[in-house]
A and B are shown apart, each in its own frame.
Chain A
């Protein structure tokens, strides 16, 4: 009898607590990329803590965040997924393109949605092929187009030479095809400059840039590669206003080591920066001052904290949508997926949350898991030590990007034996 009781108790303890809404956080607080992983993870968790403390969760159901350390290592990321998916996980956000690629078939088979905001497999925007993967509000190819659009907004791009300094990995190579197409369309010369992991030494690359004198440099970097690139650009006196990074090359971590010399550096973003929003008052009151912050509470308003917080906000809004659609406050991963597919972010909704103008408006659908692809350009003010948006949220060149998405997703569907379509 005792054994039976024990066995039942053990099974109950091992079972997911269905009353909670479970959001795993595949974070990296250790290793070479920890400085970037920590603020994102803090922002992600703090937003859910705020909802628990202020609102009692989402729709009255408490939120449970399960954090698992990946160390930005793909194998560990997959282990984290396997270890947490049985806990009732509603959505995964692995913050790594490498982990994303490994998880795409797994989440599809397990029926759990995955959100890869501004990273991962770009063609996952095609929801008819990638039923469980979402990459709203913008993707790598949108980013490449935003950068070119910004350069064009400052003058004629025809005949110019534009260098792409990129992390020599699947992530860094993502924009090449888009930029090649855009170079044909707009008549600029594309110069490719790969940097091997981790990017601690980039003398050759920046000598090449100094010798070949490109007019503009676009960077797709991550971690130490960003800091070294900005230092080296300053060393060769490359004009910072002509140097623009993707959103993963646009955190305070990337520019602070170069000091004043980083002044004027630009980076793309799909959300706003700083902490001048009503929501941050609540974050301080209910989370930081209450001693419930995930970290030291000193990252609020930084680019990566805001991104993590924004990711959590989009997840909670999708969960609310799922609750409305299903009429049930307790969600399954399938309901969450449907909620993500029906998500619509409007300015009115963001203002109500306490984040007016924080992100672009967009609408997700079965055909379009990537939103509208809107993005903005931010510029670093070294004296004030802050980023400021210098453009509004603007569109990307869908005439170039959409055919590439269709082509890549069709290739994936053929390879994986997927019958594309909306169910």
Chain B
């Protein structure tokens, strides 16, 4: 097989894997937008905060230690224990539930019936506030995140493809893990929304807030629930991205990778987020591989948006988004 064709195949496979990582971030946006109509600008910062909290708990770091030390003249930094990864993930998920309750109780409950732009602005404020709280709680140094996920080239794929084609494909073990986790996550979300009472209530709220209220569904509860789920999705995204680069404040910028995915897949569709992520992942990687060298490279950031815009021209609601028809 020609070498360039094999390289392209490798690029496509890696694009699919990258797309899964983009989809993980986009999922959080979709969940909140679908249930409450809020475009949550803070989703990237939630991933950062969740990852910071996870590392902090695992390392036994004392939250707000800098402030405590400054006020009381102490030298406290760590509790002196190390929490296993699984327990730390559960505890962090608990923190994200508390965060969801606080957000609902102190921000969005007071903004019911406000214009979408007001809600959007509130999430911008929330993003900066959460970033500051994360800094105060856990510090701004770069933290290594190791929850036991394998990293590096997958030897089996490398050897198998080498034997088959004479060229060993590179696939990162971390990307394979992310794909498996994403499959389970989406399956769990679908089962939750299809087969549980709360899931059905969530779907009812997503379809029509007022109709849901009229049959006795608590909007407050549903919104806390959906922010909690989005918080958990943010934690998963934070783990995957944090394992690649260490947990640091630029992690919040992963939200930029989700925007073209949302534009393409639609803001209200979970399958849309997945398919959108895959299309963006493959599209940008393939474009960089085929066209990048002719135009100086570094095309991925802008090409993802061009690709999303192209889809929007033909389907303004995105691939799987709901078509909005307003009758007058």
| Interchain CA distance A193-B300 in the complex, whole Å | 13
Cβ of B140 < 8 Å from any Cβ of A? yes
Partner of B297, one of A193, A223, A235, A236: A193
| Beta-carbon contact of A237 and B153 below 8 Å | yes
| Beta-carbon contact of A207 and B245 below 8 Å | no
Instruction: Considering the complex, give the chain A residue whose CB is closest to the CB of B3.
Output: A211
| Beta-carbon contact of A203 and B152 below 8 Å | no
Query: B152: which A residues are within 8 A, CB to CB?
Result: 234-235, 237, 261
Q: Known contacts being A194-B296, A236-B170, is A31 close to B249, with CB within 8 Å? A: yes
| Beta-carbon contact of B142 and A227 below 8 Å | yes
Query: B135: which A residues are within 8 A, CB to CB?
Result: 30, 34
Query: B284: which A residues are within 8 A, CB to CB?
Result: 204
Cβ of B289 < 8 Å from any Cβ of A? yes
- Minimum C-beta distance from B26 to chain A (A): 14
| Interchain CA distance A257-B250 in the complex, whole Å | 14
Instruction: Considering the complex, give the chain B residue whose CB is closest to the CB of A192.
Output: B297
| Interchain CA distance A31-B248 in the complex, whole Å | 9
Cβ of A326 < 8 Å from any Cβ of B? no
Cβ of B59 < 8 Å from any Cβ of A? no
Cβ of B254 < 8 Å from any Cβ of A? yes
Cβ of B285 < 8 Å from any Cβ of A? yes
Mark out the residues of chain A between 126 and 144 whose CB falls within 8 Å of any chain B CB in the assembled complex.
none
- Minimum C-beta distance from B162 to chain A (A): 13
Cβ of B269 < 8 Å from any Cβ of A? no
Per-residue CB contact flags for chain A residues 71-112 toward chain B (1 = under 8 Å, else 0) read 000000000000000000000000000000000000000000
Partner of A32, one of B10, B14, B66, B253: B253
Query: A168: which B residues are within 8 A, CB to CB?
Result: 297-298
Give the B interface residue count (CB, 8 A): 46
Partner of B140, one of A29, A204, A205, A235: A29
Cβ of B34 < 8 Å from any Cβ of A? no
Instruction: Considering the complex, give the chain A residue whose CB is closest to the CB of B65.
Output: A296
| Beta-carbon contact of B297 and A207 below 8 Å | no
Residue from the set A203, A223, A227, A228 with the largest chain B CB neighbour count within 10 Å: A203
- Minimum C-beta distance from A163 to chain B (A): 11
Instruction: Considering the complex, give the chain A residue whose CB is closest to the CB of B288.
Output: A204
Q: Known contacts being A193-B297, A204-B289, A210-B170, is A35 close to B253, with CB within 8 Å? A: no
Per-residue CB contact flags for chain A residues 20-64 toward chain B (1 = under 8 Å, else 0) read 000000000111111100100000000000000000000000000
Q: Known contacts being A193-B297, A200-B253, is A30 close to B140, with CB within 8 Å? A: yes
Instruction: Considering the complex, give the chain B residue whose CB is closest to the CB of A208.
Output: B289
| Beta-carbon contact of B245 and A227 below 8 Å | yes
- Minimum C-beta distance from B236 to chain A (A): 16
| Interchain CA distance A207-B172 in the complex, whole Å | 11
| Beta-carbon contact of B245 and A228 below 8 Å | yes
Query: A32: which B residues are within 8 A, CB to CB?
Result: 248-250, 252-253
Query: A195: which B residues are within 8 A, CB to CB?
Result: 298
Mark out the residues of chain A between 371 and 392 whose CB falls within 8 Å of any chain B CB in the assembled complex.
none
- Minimum C-beta distance from B48 to chain A (A): 10
Cβ of B246 < 8 Å from any Cβ of A? yes
Query: A316: which B residues are within 8 A, CB to CB?
Result: none
Cβ of A198 < 8 Å from any Cβ of B? yes
Cβ of A114 < 8 Å from any Cβ of B? no
| Interchain CA distance A168-B288 in the complex, whole Å | 14
- Minimum C-beta distance from A29 to chain B (A): 7
Mark out the residues of chain B between 1 and 49 whose CB falls within 8 Å of any chain A CB in the assembled complex.
7, 10-11, 14-15, 17-18, 21
| Beta-carbon contact of B245 and A34 below 8 Å | no
Query: B245: which A residues are within 8 A, CB to CB?
Result: 200, 224, 227-228, 231, 257
Per-residue CB contact flags for chain A residues 159-202 toward chain B (1 = under 8 Å, else 0) read 00000000010000000000000000000000011111110110
Query: A30: which B residues are within 8 A, CB to CB?
Result: 132, 135, 140, 249
Instruction: Considering the complex, give the chain A residue whose CB is closest to the CB of B287.
Output: A204
Cβ of B292 < 8 Å from any Cβ of A? yes
Query: A410: which B residues are within 8 A, CB to CB?
Result: none
| Beta-carbon contact of A296 and B66 below 8 Å | yes
| Beta-carbon contact of A200 and B241 below 8 Å | yes
Cβ of B141 < 8 Å from any Cβ of A? yes
| Interchain CA distance A192-B300 in the complex, whole Å | 16
| Beta-carbon contact of B298 and A35 below 8 Å | no
| Interchain CA distance A204-B280 in the complex, whole Å | 13
Q: Known contacts being A29-B140, A224-B245, A257-B142, is A198 close to B250, with CB within 8 Å? A: yes
| Beta-carbon contact of B254 and A200 below 8 Å | yes
- Minimum C-beta distance from B15 to chain A (A): 8
Per-residue CB contact flags for chain A residues 254-289 toward chain B (1 = under 8 Å, else 0) read 001101010000000000000000000000000000
Query: B244: which A residues are within 8 A, CB to CB?
Result: 200, 228, 231
| Beta-carbon contact of B144 and A259 below 8 Å | yes
In the complex, besides A32-B250, A35-B141, A203-B17, 19 extra interface pairs with C-beta distance below 8 angstroms are A30-B140, A32-B249, A35-B142, A35-B249, A194-B297, A196-B298, A197-B301, A198-B253, A200-B245, A204-B14, A204-B292, A204-B300, A207-B289, A227-B246, A228-B245, A231-B244, A253-B142, A257-B145, A259-B146
Binding site for A on B (CB under 8 A): 7, 10-11, 14-15, 17-18, 21, 66, 69, 73, 132, 135, 140-142, 144-146, 151-153, 170, 172, 241, 244-246, 248-254, 257, 284-285, 288-289, 292, 296-298, 300-301
Q: Which 7 pairs across A and B sit closest by C-beta, in order of nearness?
A: A257-B246, A32-B250, A194-B298, A224-B250, A34-B140, A204-B288, A168-B298
Binding site for B on A (CB under 8 A): 29-35, 38, 168, 192-198, 200-201, 203-205, 207-208, 210-211, 223-224, 227-228, 231, 234-237, 253, 256-257, 259, 261, 291, 296
15 contacts between A and B (CB under 8 A): A30-B135, A35-B248, A194-B298, A195-B298, A198-B250, A201-B257, A201-B300, A204-B288, A211-B7, A231-B244, A237-B153, A253-B142, A257-B246, A261-B151, A261-B152
